């Protein structure tokens, strides 16, 4: 088997992509854990969202982005988008000779570790749920686990609209999540990068006995481990500078991104020629 890390340098950047702003939650965990790593973040904001689109389309979009990231020196690519991880990852790994990590496997591992009852709930976009990617990943780790899935597409719109904690948000959460209460899950996997922003409303409804798991932390741990295993961790001592690319206007990305990241985003570049 070919070593895809062979010609890569530890000082190269980590590429992270998402359809939009959501993957910033993964980036935030990564920066906290590995402040010396340089990150190139790519948001396909012109074609956002991915979650209600077909595997074929999402795979094409994700491949466009990986192609773009490979123009830069990257040592690891993170598909920080649940929909892209669920629908496109196997194809991307076939198509490109580059280390690519998604959020599904780390999230599934974390859910399996936390569940005692082996009754696990998974929420995500239509695309993620229909792909069965979380279902399959959890079953691979623990064939005895029972996995209950539901798509909650309105959650993304609520977060994008900033309706984090309104009466309507609580009503919608109740409507989506009621079945999980009846199924007596002890872990609810937030299978979309937007959902952690609704953690409070979701947690209030589900109650303290249900652990909410998101992929951001477990994905950062996985990336850390992978780089360490391949002697690919950056050696610089100072905090790294990051770069941002978007396919729609930078302003909105910067505004929301700084909120998600909790830090300044200095320079965002507009990419015009993606997929051409």
Q: Is 57 in the site for a copy of itself (CB under 8 A)?
A: yes
Footprint of a copy of itself on 134-153 (CB under 8 A) = 153
Closer Cβ to a copy of itself, 157 or 266, answer by number: 157
Q: How far apart are CA 31 and CA 39, in angstroms?
A: 9
Q: Is 269 in the site for a copy of itself (CB under 8 A)?
A: no
Q: How far apart are CA 203 and CA 199, in angstroms?
A: 6
Size of interface with a copy of itself, in residues (CB under 8 A): 30
User: CB-based contacts of 272: which residues, under 8 Å, 6+ apart?
Assistant: 247
Footprint of a copy of itself on 21-50 (CB under 8 A) = 45-48
Q: Is 53 in the site for a copy of itself (CB under 8 A)?
A: yes
Closer Cβ to a copy of itself, 33 or 267, answer by number: 267
Footprint of a copy of itself on 181-200 (CB under 8 A) = none
Q: How far apart are CA 114 and CA 215, in angstroms?
A: 13
Q: How far apart are CA 264 and CA 267, in angstroms?
A: 9
Strand partners of residue 212 = 188
Residue 17: strand, helix, or coil: strand
Closer Cβ to a copy of itself, 172 or 206, answer by number: 172
Strand partners of residue 42 = 17, 245
Catalytic residue among 156, 177, 192, 219: 192
Q: Is 157 in the site for a copy of itself (CB under 8 A)?
A: yes
Question: What single-letter DSSP state applies at residue 198?
Answer: G
**How many angstroms from the chain centroid is the CA of residue 166?**
25
Closer Cβ to a copy of itself, 5 or 50, answer by number: 50
Catalytic residue among 76, 80, 81, 190: 81
Q: Is 168 in the site for a copy of itself (CB under 8 A)?
A: yes
Q: Is 247 in the site for a copy of itself (CB under 8 A)?
A: yes
Footprint of a copy of itself on 102-131 (CB under 8 A) = none
Q: How far apart are CA 172 and CA 78, in angstroms?
A: 31
Q: Is 63 in the site for a copy of itself (CB under 8 A)?
A: no
Measured over the CA atoms of residue 28, residue 34, residue 36 and residue 39, the dihedral's sign is negative
Q: Which of 67, 97, 117, 166 binds a copy of itself (CB under 8 A)?
A: 166
Closer Cβ to a copy of itself, 49 or 196, answer by number: 49
Q: How far apart are CA 220 and CA 271, in angstroms?
A: 26
Question: To the nearest whole angstrom, how small is the minimum distance from the Cβ of residue 88 to a copy of itself?
Answer: 14
Closer Cβ to a copy of itself, 92 or 108, answer by number: 92
Q: What is the DSSP string of 159-192?
A: HHTT-SS-HHHHHHHHHHHHHHHHHT-SEEEEES
Q: Which of 163, 181, 186, 258 binds a copy of itself (CB under 8 A)?
A: 163
Q: Token pair 């050696």 is at which residue? A: 235
Q: How far apart are CA 247 and CA 253, in angstroms?
A: 10
152 assigned to active site: no
Which residues contact a copy of itself (rule: CB under 8 A)? 45-48, 52-54, 56-57, 61, 153-154, 156-158, 160-161, 163, 166-168, 171-172, 175, 247-249, 252, 275-276
Which residues are designated catalytic?
81, 192
């Amino acid at each position: 088997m070919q070593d895809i890390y062979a010609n890569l340098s530890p000082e190269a950047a980590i590429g992270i992509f998402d359809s939009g702003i959501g993957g910033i939650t993964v980036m935030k965990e990564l920066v906290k854990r590995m402040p010396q790593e340089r990150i190139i973040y790519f948001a396909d904001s012109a074609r956002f969202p991915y979650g209600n689109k077909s595997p074929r389309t999402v795979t094409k979009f994700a491949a466009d982005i990986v192609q773009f990231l490979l123009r830069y020196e990257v040592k690891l690519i993170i598909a920080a988008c649940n929909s892209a991880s669920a629908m496109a990852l196997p194809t991307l790994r076939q198509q490109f000779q580059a280390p690519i990590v998604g959020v599904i496997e780390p999230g599934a591992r974390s859910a399996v570790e936390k569940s005692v009852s082996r009754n696990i709930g998974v929420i995500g976009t239509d695309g993620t749920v229909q792909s069965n990617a979380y279902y399959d990943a959890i079953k691979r780790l623990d064939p005895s686990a029972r996995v209950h899935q539901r798509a909650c597409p309105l959650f993304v719109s609520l977060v994008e609209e900033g309706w984090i904690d309104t009466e309507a948000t609580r009503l919608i959460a109740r409507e989506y999540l009621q079945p999980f209460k009846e199924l007596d899950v002890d872990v609810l996997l937030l299978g979309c990068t937007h959902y952690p922003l609704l953690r409070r409303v979701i947690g209030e409804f589900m109650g303290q006995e249900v652990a909410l798991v998101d992929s951001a932390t477990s994905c950062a741990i996985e990336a850390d481990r992978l780089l360490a295993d391949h002697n690919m961790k950056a050696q610089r001592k100072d905090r790294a500078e990051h770069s941002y690319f978007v396919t729609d206007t930078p302003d909105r990305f910067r505004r929301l991104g700084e909120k998600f990241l909790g830090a300044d985003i200095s320079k965002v570049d507009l990419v015009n020629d993606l997929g051409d």
